[in-house]
Chains A and B, each alone.
Chain A
Amino acid sequence: DTGVSQNPRHKITKRGQNVTFRCDPISEHNRLYWYRQTLGQGPEFLTYFQNEAQLEKSRLLSDRFSAERPKGSFSTLEIQRTEQGDSAMYLCASSVRQKSNYGYTFGSGTRLTVV
């Protein structure tokens, strides 16, 4: 495992449906982050985990959004009752706590389109 893996790469869903994305971080990385990036904008922080604990959530993470990281390994991000405004690229990143100042390793993202 040489990088952060995100699945699926693309997801098209109808408004009102639930979707779930998966992120597999680099195996030795204990921190995992979710960001959202809309077209032409920089990524916006959603939430982060240290091991299995969710330590911080952005106010952008409404009650329709939930993230989990069971056993401190992979993570899932679920969006319930999707809205057109949820259309975006969802980025996952991971880092090692002691080296988080070196920046993260990002995945290639999951592009969500809500129609």
Chain B
Amino acid sequence: AQTVTQSQPEMSVQEAETVTLSCTYDTSESDYYLFWYKQPPSRQMILVIRQEAYKQQNATENRFSVNFQKAAKSFSLKISDSQLGDAAMYFCAYRSRETSGSRLTFGEGTQLTVNP
């Protein structure tokens, strides 16, 4: 079974600065997807960015980018020019492409605080 680990329960960043959230995962599969989701307080979970394992190029979405290291099974999220609205719980998630079904396996989450 796949597992996802986020070793930073809490992180903080100054507004306009850059922060990196860490995620590692364990799988024996070679084909899969990785995601970062954002969950603001009392609000729904929103997809931030996704990465396909067969693509070597790191995904980028505006101020959000990932550092995908397949051999190391590492998938970190970098938030540049942090804004107050980025404050939320961030979850890393894994989805297999090889097995049937499409369940997501989530990490424990990292609570990000953005200081003005």
**Chain A interface residues (CB < 8 Å from chain B):** 3-4, 31, 33, 35, 40-45, 48, 55-56, 58, 91, 93, 95, 100-104, 106-109
Chain B residues with CB under 8 A of A58: 103
CA of A106 to CA of B91 in the docked complex: distance in angstroms? Answer: 13
**Chain B interface residues (CB < 8 Å from chain A):** 4, 33, 35, 37, 42-47, 50, 52, 91, 93, 95, 97, 100-109
CB distance from A32 to the nearest CB of B (A): 11
CA of A107 to CA of B44 in the docked complex: distance in angstroms? Answer: 6
Instruction: Report the nearest B residue to A4, measured CB to CB.
Output: B44
CA of A93 to CA of B35 in the docked complex: distance in angstroms? Answer: 15
Q: Is the CB of A101 within 8 A of B95?
A: yes
CB distance from A63 to the nearest CB of B (A): 20
8 Å CB contact of B102 from A4, A31, A35, A41: A31
Chain A residues with CB under 8 A of B44: 3-4, 106-109
Q: Is the CB of A108 within 8 A of B102?
A: no
Chain B residues with CB under 8 A of A45: 103-105
Give 20 pairs: A residue, B residue, CB < 8 Å, sorted on A.
Answer: A4-B44, A31-B102, A33-B102, A41-B109, A42-B91, A42-B106, A43-B45, A45-B103, A55-B100, A56-B103, A95-B102, A101-B52, A101-B95, A102-B47, A102-B50, A103-B104, A104-B47, A104-B104, A107-B44, A108-B43
